[in-house]
Amino acid sequence: ETGVTQTPRHLVMGMTNKKSLKCEQHLGHNAMYWYKQSAKKPLELMFVYSLEERVENNSVPSRFSPECPNSSHLFLHLHTLQPEDSALYLCASSQALRSHTGELFFGEGSRLTVL
Amino acid sequence: QKEVEQNSGPLSVPEGAIASLNCTYSDRGSQSFFWYRQYSGKSPELIMSIYSNGDKEDGRFTAQLNKASQYVSLLIRDSQPSDSATYLCAVNKRGTYKYIFGTGTRLKVLA
Protein backbone atom coordinates (compact mmCIF):
# COMPACT_ATOMS: atom_id res chain seq x y z
CA GLU A 1 0.00 0.00 0.00
CA THR A 2 1.56 3.27 -1.12
CA GLY A 3 0.94 6.70 0.41
CA VAL A 4 0.39 8.05 -3.11
CA THR A 5 -2.46 6.53 -5.12
CA GLN A 6 -3.11 7.01 -8.82
CA THR A 7 -6.12 6.20 -10.96
CA PRO A 8 -6.64 4.80 -13.46
CA ARG A 9 -3.70 2.41 -13.55
CA HIS A 10 -4.17 1.81 -17.27
CA LEU A 11 -5.79 4.06 -19.86
CA VAL A 12 -6.24 3.64 -23.60
CA MET A 13 -7.53 6.65 -25.49
CA GLY A 14 -7.91 7.90 -29.00
CA MET A 15 -6.35 11.12 -30.18
CA THR A 16 -9.65 13.00 -30.00
CA ASN A 17 -10.62 11.85 -26.50
CA LYS A 18 -10.51 13.84 -23.28
CA LYS A 19 -9.55 11.99 -20.12
CA SER A 20 -8.03 12.78 -16.73
CA LEU A 21 -5.49 11.14 -14.47
CA LYS A 22 -6.02 11.45 -10.74
CA CYS A 23 -3.52 11.39 -7.90
CA GLU A 24 -4.07 11.51 -4.15
CA GLN A 25 -1.38 11.62 -1.47
CA HIS A 26 -1.99 10.57 2.14
CA LEU A 27 1.42 11.61 3.49
CA GLY A 28 0.67 15.18 4.53
CA HIS A 29 3.20 16.49 2.02
CA ASN A 30 3.13 20.02 0.67
CA ALA A 31 4.36 19.45 -2.89
CA MET A 32 3.02 17.24 -5.70
CA TYR A 33 4.53 16.35 -9.05
CA TRP A 34 3.74 14.84 -12.42
CA TYR A 35 6.54 12.95 -14.17
CA LYS A 36 6.52 11.20 -17.54
CA GLN A 37 8.52 8.01 -18.03
CA SER A 38 9.16 6.77 -21.58
CA ALA A 39 11.28 3.79 -22.58
CA LYS A 40 15.05 4.42 -22.59
CA LYS A 41 14.62 7.98 -21.34
CA PRO A 42 15.06 9.47 -17.88
CA LEU A 43 12.03 10.56 -15.94
CA GLU A 44 10.85 13.89 -17.28
CA LEU A 45 9.46 16.43 -14.85
CA MET A 46 6.22 17.90 -16.17
CA PHE A 47 4.64 19.96 -13.39
CA VAL A 48 5.16 20.75 -9.73
CA TYR A 49 2.63 22.21 -7.32
CA SER A 50 3.57 23.53 -3.90
CA LEU A 51 0.71 24.46 -1.60
CA GLU A 52 -1.63 24.33 -4.60
CA GLU A 53 0.45 26.84 -6.55
CA ARG A 54 2.20 25.72 -9.72
CA VAL A 55 5.93 26.26 -9.22
CA GLU A 56 7.36 24.35 -12.19
CA ASN A 57 6.09 23.95 -15.72
CA ASN A 58 8.66 22.22 -17.87
CA SER A 59 7.64 23.39 -21.36
CA VAL A 60 4.91 20.79 -21.49
CA PRO A 61 2.50 20.94 -24.49
CA SER A 62 -0.84 22.53 -23.73
CA ARG A 63 -2.64 19.25 -24.46
CA PHE A 64 -1.59 18.37 -20.89
CA SER A 65 -3.36 20.50 -18.30
CA PRO A 66 -2.69 20.07 -14.57
CA GLU A 67 -5.03 20.94 -11.74
CA CYS A 68 -4.32 20.97 -8.01
CA PRO A 69 -7.50 21.74 -6.04
CA ASN A 70 -5.85 21.11 -2.64
CA SER A 71 -2.59 19.83 -1.20
CA SER A 72 -3.73 16.19 -1.31
CA HIS A 73 -5.09 15.95 -4.86
CA LEU A 74 -3.55 16.43 -8.26
CA PHE A 75 -5.06 15.89 -11.70
CA LEU A 76 -3.65 15.75 -15.19
CA HIS A 77 -6.25 16.54 -17.84
CA LEU A 78 -5.51 15.08 -21.27
CA HIS A 79 -6.96 16.16 -24.62
CA THR A 80 -6.05 15.65 -28.28
CA LEU A 81 -2.99 13.61 -27.37
CA GLN A 82 -0.52 12.14 -29.84
CA PRO A 83 0.73 8.54 -30.04
CA GLU A 84 4.15 9.72 -28.79
CA ASP A 85 2.45 10.72 -25.53
CA SER A 86 2.05 7.04 -24.70
CA ALA A 87 4.07 6.51 -21.53
CA LEU A 88 3.92 5.84 -17.81
CA TYR A 89 2.73 8.93 -15.95
CA LEU A 90 3.92 9.08 -12.39
CA CYS A 91 2.57 11.23 -9.63
CA ALA A 92 4.81 11.97 -6.66
CA SER A 93 4.82 14.02 -3.49
CA SER A 94 7.42 15.47 -1.16
CA GLN A 95 7.68 17.59 1.94
CA ALA A 96 9.57 20.76 1.20
CA LEU A 97 11.70 21.61 4.23
CA ARG A 98 13.42 24.88 5.08
CA SER A 99 16.88 23.41 4.51
CA HIS A 100 16.15 21.26 1.49
CA THR A 101 13.43 19.42 -0.36
CA GLY A 102 12.81 15.99 1.09
CA GLU A 103 12.48 12.59 -0.49
CA LEU A 104 10.15 12.12 -3.43
CA PHE A 105 7.52 9.37 -3.04
CA PHE A 106 5.86 7.96 -6.14
CA GLY A 107 2.47 6.52 -6.87
CA GLU A 108 2.16 3.31 -8.86
CA GLY A 109 1.72 5.17 -12.13
CA SER A 110 -0.87 5.40 -14.88
CA ARG A 111 0.09 3.56 -18.07
CA LEU A 112 -1.29 5.61 -20.96
CA THR A 113 -1.65 4.32 -24.52
CA VAL A 114 -2.74 6.74 -27.23
CA LEU A 115 -4.04 5.11 -30.40
CA GLN B 1 26.52 16.85 -21.02
CA LYS B 2 23.66 15.12 -19.26
CA GLU B 3 22.71 16.56 -15.89
CA VAL B 4 22.76 13.14 -14.22
CA GLU B 5 24.69 10.27 -15.80
CA GLN B 6 24.52 6.59 -15.10
CA ASN B 7 25.84 3.57 -16.93
CA SER B 8 22.76 1.85 -18.35
CA GLY B 9 24.19 -1.65 -17.82
CA PRO B 10 23.20 -4.34 -17.42
CA LEU B 11 25.50 -4.85 -14.48
CA SER B 12 25.63 -8.56 -13.67
CA VAL B 13 26.87 -9.78 -10.29
CA PRO B 14 26.71 -13.23 -8.69
CA GLU B 15 24.47 -13.77 -5.69
CA GLY B 16 26.22 -12.78 -2.46
CA ALA B 17 28.60 -10.34 -4.16
CA ILE B 18 28.77 -6.56 -3.75
CA ALA B 19 27.06 -4.56 -6.49
CA SER B 20 28.45 -1.08 -7.08
CA LEU B 21 26.31 1.48 -8.89
CA ASN B 22 27.65 4.86 -9.87
CA CYS B 23 26.23 8.25 -10.76
CA THR B 24 27.76 11.60 -11.72
CA TYR B 25 26.04 14.96 -11.86
CA SER B 26 26.88 18.25 -13.48
CA ASP B 27 25.34 20.93 -11.26
CA ARG B 28 27.62 21.89 -8.34
CA GLY B 29 24.65 23.52 -6.67
CA SER B 30 23.01 20.13 -6.18
CA GLN B 31 22.16 19.55 -2.58
CA SER B 32 20.21 16.33 -2.15
CA PHE B 33 20.85 12.93 -3.67
CA PHE B 34 18.64 9.90 -3.89
CA TRP B 35 18.69 6.30 -5.04
CA TYR B 36 15.52 4.65 -6.25
CA ARG B 37 14.87 1.05 -7.23
CA GLN B 38 12.41 0.33 -10.02
CA TYR B 39 11.21 -3.17 -10.86
CA SER B 40 9.93 -3.77 -14.38
CA GLY B 41 6.41 -2.40 -14.77
CA LYS B 42 6.46 -0.76 -11.34
CA SER B 43 7.06 2.74 -10.06
CA PRO B 44 10.33 3.94 -8.47
CA GLU B 45 10.77 3.12 -4.78
CA LEU B 46 13.08 5.19 -2.58
CA ILE B 47 16.05 3.26 -1.18
CA MET B 48 18.40 5.91 0.19
CA SER B 49 18.82 9.63 0.49
CA ILE B 50 22.12 11.37 1.24
CA TYR B 51 22.78 15.04 1.83
CA SER B 52 26.37 15.36 3.04
CA ASN B 53 29.75 14.02 1.96
CA GLY B 54 30.73 10.57 3.13
CA ASP B 55 28.96 7.27 3.58
CA LYS B 56 25.46 6.48 4.77
CA GLU B 57 24.53 2.90 5.57
CA ASP B 58 21.10 1.30 5.80
CA GLY B 59 21.07 -2.47 6.08
CA ARG B 60 22.73 -3.97 3.01
CA PHE B 61 22.80 -0.59 1.25
CA THR B 62 25.49 2.08 1.50
CA ALA B 63 25.30 5.41 -0.31
CA GLN B 64 28.50 7.36 -0.85
CA LEU B 65 28.67 11.05 -1.76
CA ASN B 66 31.65 13.05 -2.95
CA LYS B 67 30.56 16.58 -3.84
CA ALA B 68 34.04 17.67 -4.92
CA SER B 69 34.06 14.95 -7.58
CA GLN B 70 30.30 15.32 -8.22
CA TYR B 71 29.89 11.62 -7.70
CA VAL B 72 27.38 9.51 -5.79
CA SER B 73 27.36 5.73 -5.56
CA LEU B 74 25.28 2.92 -4.13
CA LEU B 75 26.77 -0.29 -2.81
CA ILE B 76 24.59 -3.34 -2.29
CA ARG B 77 26.21 -5.99 -0.10
CA ASP B 78 25.24 -9.66 -0.19
CA SER B 79 23.31 -9.10 -3.43
CA GLN B 80 20.16 -11.20 -3.84
CA PRO B 81 18.24 -12.12 -7.01
CA SER B 82 15.41 -9.96 -5.64
CA ASP B 83 17.74 -6.96 -5.98
CA SER B 84 17.56 -7.35 -9.76
CA ALA B 85 15.97 -4.10 -10.93
CA THR B 86 16.81 -0.74 -12.45
CA TYR B 87 18.43 1.70 -10.02
CA LEU B 88 17.76 5.38 -10.59
CA CYS B 89 19.96 8.16 -9.29
CA ALA B 90 18.21 11.47 -8.63
CA VAL B 91 19.59 14.87 -7.74
CA ASN B 92 17.78 17.86 -6.33
CA LYS B 93 18.93 21.35 -7.15
CA ARG B 94 19.26 23.73 -4.23
CA GLY B 95 16.25 25.96 -3.77
CA THR B 96 14.13 24.25 -6.40
CA TYR B 97 11.58 21.49 -6.63
CA LYS B 98 13.40 19.91 -9.56
CA TYR B 99 14.49 16.34 -9.01
CA ILE B 100 16.64 15.37 -11.99
CA PHE B 101 16.90 11.67 -12.74
CA GLY B 102 19.46 9.60 -14.57
CA THR B 103 18.40 6.94 -17.07
CA GLY B 104 19.10 4.21 -14.53
CA THR B 105 21.41 1.21 -14.27
CA ARG B 106 19.93 -2.22 -14.77
CA LEU B 107 21.26 -4.68 -12.20
CA LYS B 108 21.07 -8.45 -12.63
CA VAL B 109 21.93 -10.64 -9.67
CA LEU B 110 22.64 -14.17 -10.86
CA ALA B 111 21.59 -17.06 -8.61
CB < 8 Å to A41, chain B? 103
Q: Cβ–Cβ of A43/B88 closer than 8 Å?
A: yes
Find, among A36, A60, A62, A50, the residue nearest to A97 by Cα.
Answer: A50
For B97, the closest of A40, A55, A103 (CB atoms) is A55
**Can you give the pLDDT at residue A41?**
87
pLDDT tens digits, B1-44: 789 999 988 999 999 999 999 999 999 988 899 999 999 989 99
Q: Cβ–Cβ of A107/B49 closer than 8 Å?
A: no
Give yes or no for a contact between A92 and A32, defined as CB atoms under 8 angstroms apart.
yes
Measure in Å the smallest separation between the Cα of B59 and chain A Cα atoms. Answer: 19
Taken as a whole, chain B contains a residue count of: 111
CB < 8 Å to A33, chain B? 97, 99
pLDDT tens digits, A34-76: 999 998 888 999 999 987 778 777 789 999 999 999 999 999 9
Q: Cβ–Cβ of A104/B34 closer than 8 Å?
A: yes
Cβ atoms < 10 Å from Cβ of B55: 11
